[in-house]
Structure 1
Amino acid sequence: MPDASRPDREICLLLLEDSEIDAELLAAHLNKAQLAFRLTRVVNRREFVAALEEGACEVILADYSLPDFDGLSALNIARALQPDIPFIFVSGVVGEEFATNALKRGATDYIMKRNLTRLATAVERALDQARERRERREAEQALSRSEMRARLAIEGAELGLWDFDPRSGEMSWDERCRVLLALGPDEEPTFDAWLARLHPDDRERLADSVADAITYHPDKTGAYAEEYRIVSPDGRERWIASRGQAQFEQGICTRFVGIVRDINEERLAQEALRRLTGDLERQVAERTAERDRIWRLGRDLFTVAGLDGRLRRVNPAWLNQLGYHPDALVGSDFSLLIHADDIEALGGVIKRLSEGEVIERHENRLRHANGTWRWISWTAVPEGEAFYAIGRDITEERAAAEALAQRNRELAEQIEERERVEQTLRQMQRLEAVGQLTSGVAHDFNNLLTVILGNISFVERWMSKESVDGKIADRIGHMRTAAERGAKLTAQMLAFSRKQKLEPKPLDLNETVGGMRDLLQSTLGGSVRLETVLKPDLWPALVDPTQIELIILNLAINARDAMEVGGGLTVETANVTLRDKPSRPEEPMPGEYVLLAVSDTGPGMSDEVLAKAFEPFFTTKEIGKGSGLGLAQVYGFAKQSGGGVRIETKLGEGATVKVFLPRAAARASSEPERKVAPRDVVSASTRNVLVMDDDSAVREITAAMLTDLGFTVIEAGSGSAALDVLRTDQRIDILLADYAMPGMNGVEAARAAVQMRPGLPVLFITGYADLKALRDVGEDRIIQKPFRDDELSRKVEAALADAAELAQKVVPLRRG
């Protein structure tokens, strides 16, 4: 019958034996003992070490004597590689002394081969010993881990340990306990020393608590838990928590152990929390009272209403704000107070509240008890089957907001107007700068053209005397035509820059347009239809008659060039009164104007073209088809006349140019101009002319033309040079002064000359007329460059004749 104490599993045995017969004998004895095993046999050192490294065997059986190996060496290797595996010597050649030595060196047992009956028992005993050692080692390791965890826990929790034996009165503290109890390192740990450190108010209570804990009671566990204060030698107090357990044997406490923990911060926090709780309770009471006061005294409308729209509670403000007593409103339908136009929105708000949404702001009108309507702004929060709402009267705020919105609109309009004015000012400044440049260029061109046309006149007179004709005469004619075109171009440039000399008169535009109809029709040709729409009772316009005719013709030509064959052109007059400020620099200021409008059926203008339409030299025509000065001349003339111009156009629908001319105070005169009686021709051969011009070429040609007319000419290249001549005794009959000169200009030199020689006639020669400087100078005293036809001789002779007539009227005073 098998032994119940034997393992029911297969045991792995490692056998170090070189004799196969002995190995079989060993296995036979183990089988006979009914021991379940698996035998692994090795015969040399290498196989033995390899088997040990695999670690599969549980018991090692080793012979002592081997061919190249011995049992003691095998024991040493086994102790090094697998010290926990039992090692049993099985040998037949050694004695008791060797066996004792082997056991001292770590062998588990020694079996003689001649007595193998004890082998199975030795193997089982070795396994039991190995198991006990393993279990003891595991228990020790578990205890060590437990102690380590406890020590780490105590250290982590900063706990102090104490141990008290009530029988002997002995007490022990660890270092942490000494620190917490404020005990010095040399102070004897006794129960009385501990009591001495307690706060006087806690000492009696703690002594009773300890006595109770260490006294045996059948219905008590001996547990101890207290909190108390420790007073350090320097007088500081700290709160300590102590936990302990009494151990009893036969009703006598043999040991009382426990821990101490610093709870000073906890107690301080608890005290602060207690004070805070008290403060919070007081604040809650105060807030509750404040809430009640807000409900009773608040100016806002407070209400609690059901999701069915019925009022459950309202505060007294409803009486103050809307005139309704709260008791009269409770239970009523809220919508009964709402303006009819706001009821639908209120339904939407209640629906959103029923879905749990918070209403941040909703405005509606509530009827006051006196019948008026008040705007209320609501905030509402749902809660269960009701909602809580606060309403504020914003009637005055809405009125103020509306007034502010109106003011903002006015400010926006003012800002828009300011931006428009600034844009207009920038455009005007740009056009003014271009005008300044244009007038300067025109002045220089006129000087050049004066020289060119003057010399052409000399050449033509010479050719006429010499009877030269043919190709040379034709080429000279072409040169004159080109120069005169240049003069016309500079005149247009001066018109844009508003530097031309105008002679405005009251004029009937209907008569002017009617008188130009045949000219306009011939200019337009038979392919363009001409129509005039002239307003009866047209106001008189204050304009220069000659220039307005050029403007009408210029606009007609522009319109003709813009239209295809078969287009139509309309010239219209009207009386207009403008009240709005101009939106563009070319437009007129508010006032009464006579309107001249020229419309065509051409392709119209784009916004980009319209923005540059009045800039000089800007044109959409092909190269050589236009100078780009037509509309610029219209702009300059209208502005210089005191009016303005506006273009109304749309792509594909033609364009209308509206010229606004100032209304004249008096009616236009239809009487013919009086003919001035012809003056006697002044003899040029006896007259001396002082010509003042800084341009030597212009001065030379002017002098040559006057010399050719028979005058004696004295030249001066500057104002100071001319005054030097006048300071001499040389007779000077007339002064021809160029206006634009460096240093002293023509007006300044003429003023000084007249002071030196009173009555000296002066003519101004200029490439452009500065209206401010020459505003008091008559047209008959200004000669425009380049000289046209006989203008130079005619105006010089007229000035001399006027001077002669004036001299004849002077009555000499008699000497008394």
Structure 2
Amino acid sequence: MPTLARMEELNHNKNQLDLMQAALDHLNQGFSVFDANLRLVAWNRGLWEMLDFPQELARRGTHLEAFLRVNAERGEYGPGDIEGKIQRRLRRAQEFEPHYFERVRPNGQVIAVNGSPLPMGGFVTTYSDITEQRRRQEKLERTVEERTRALRQSEDWLRLVTDNIPALIAYLGPGPVFRFANRRYAEWFGQSVMSIVGRSAEEVAGKDLYLELAPHISQAFKGQAVSYEYDRRTADGSTVYMRSTLIPDITNDGRTLGVFVLSLDATDQKRTEARLLQSQRMDAVGKLSGGLAHDFNNLLSILMGNILSLKRHGQEINPDILSKHMTPMLKATRRGADLTQRLLAFSRGAPVAPQLCRLDKLLSDVETLLAGSLPSSIDFQIREAASVSARIDPAQLETALVNLVFNARDAIGETGHIDVLLQRDTLSKSEAEAIGLRAGTYAAIKVSDDGVGMDEQTRLRIFEPFFTTKSFGTGSGLGLSMVYGFAKQSGGAVAISTFKSRGTEITLYLPFEETSSQQICVMGNKQSDISPVPTGNGELIMLVEDDQDVALTLAEQLKDLGYTTLLASDVEDARALAQDIPELRMVLSDIVMPGQTNGLSLARAIRQRRPELGIILMTGYADWGVLDPQSSDCGFPLLMKPFENSQLAILIHQTLNGSVS
């Protein structure tokens, strides 16, 4: 019989086991321990409650096979060979390897089984009822799936909407990289909505175009909305135009996450505007013809009257009579040439001959010109507050000042004051933007009068071509529009301040340039009045001109300048003569000639065969460049008709002496 001490020890061990069993029974998981022989060693109540095992199995020494058989017979492992299912599970258990699996019972309960081997053989296993967890997970997955489907549907609707509205929409992320683009935007750059996403803006737009767009994109990523226009060449060589607005995507704390891009294809609008402009230009040509007829008829009347008078005098002409008639004729031709040049500048939309000029010196010359053209009852004064220079066409500036002063004279009537002030003005950002300029320093010429002034309706239209408040026949309406065009072509602007019955002040702003030189621009033919004219020594010059009257006049000019002239009336004769006459020193040819070949082609052909020959081209055609669209420069000295002996003489002298090629 066991001793009392042994019995106490056994009771103590039993109490310890009972205490451990009570602790295991309180776990919310099932628990079992099987030994190396796969016999039950320990368990808890949760195992039986969770898996509904018969109570007779709840004893130490029950083999694992008994538990597997209960499960197999009640369909826990699905249909099929019961013995085979039991034996396969026994073999896996005998490997004593860590295992985890989830089993769905026939009643829908989901049990997670997690087994770990013991050091002396056997294994301990926990069983967790994760049915609710899996149901919540499935519900969450269904919710995510539904929301994903709804989001995808929403994106599809967004894509459908953005792809069909007449606008180009995109989103740029940092980089900048495209994160979204609708179909129209992608197709604009030859991409698809899938291929454009993830690509950099530089890669999509191309290196050259991106250099133009980059400053605007950078400004938008700094948090500033920006609008701009640009154009690009397509694969077929046509030009397309885009008007874009960039809107930064800014968080509440001020960070810029990206940039929304809204663009409109402005190609059709630009083409419509061009057609409208062409239509307006043709309408303007019709209106212009009346004013030109008036001006040129006056010039022709001067010429015709003096020529008839000279013809009547016959052999009785003495130097005084000759001078009396020739002076107004020469002035009339100069006025005609000047009018033509102004009209060509107006049609081309660009300065004829921009130069860096001292404006104070130019105004001094203009003062001399205008002083004799104003009545003595009008007080006229030009003041220079500073020595100011600008890069402009001096002839156009002179014309602009004449127009402004004469308009002031007409506004004054009989008596009054006209002041012209030259100064340097620094415009603030707001002041500059009000007249379409950038902030900075400008040369300012202010022409003010104390005449009748203008009402608001007149002020708004004053720079429109052909708008005039003068009576019919006394004004063409082109004067102030030419002033406005000259200012814009020169990179400046015109500002006007006027009040009815209180006078007008018109300010001509021109880009200021620093210069340390005393450069004075020489305008038109004034140089010929003060400088000696170089003459020739009988050198042979071939004159190529299809108009016989013009050819004879030019031949007489060349003779007066000391040159021998050979006339050629067409391109083919000129080409042959240039090749066959070694004594020929120079060719003077008109550009526009009858037939398939023009004077420019002739000059190039002669230059190839006789590179030592001097060549000068002349034309009265505004846009000679249409004859050779591939070249912006004809490559030869060019005289614009009409020209005076001094201009012709200087250019021939320079060409023959190699200073002009």
After TM superposition, the score normalised by the length of structure 2 is: 0.45
Whichever of the two has the greater Rg, that structure is 1
TM-score (structure 1 length as normaliser) = 0.38
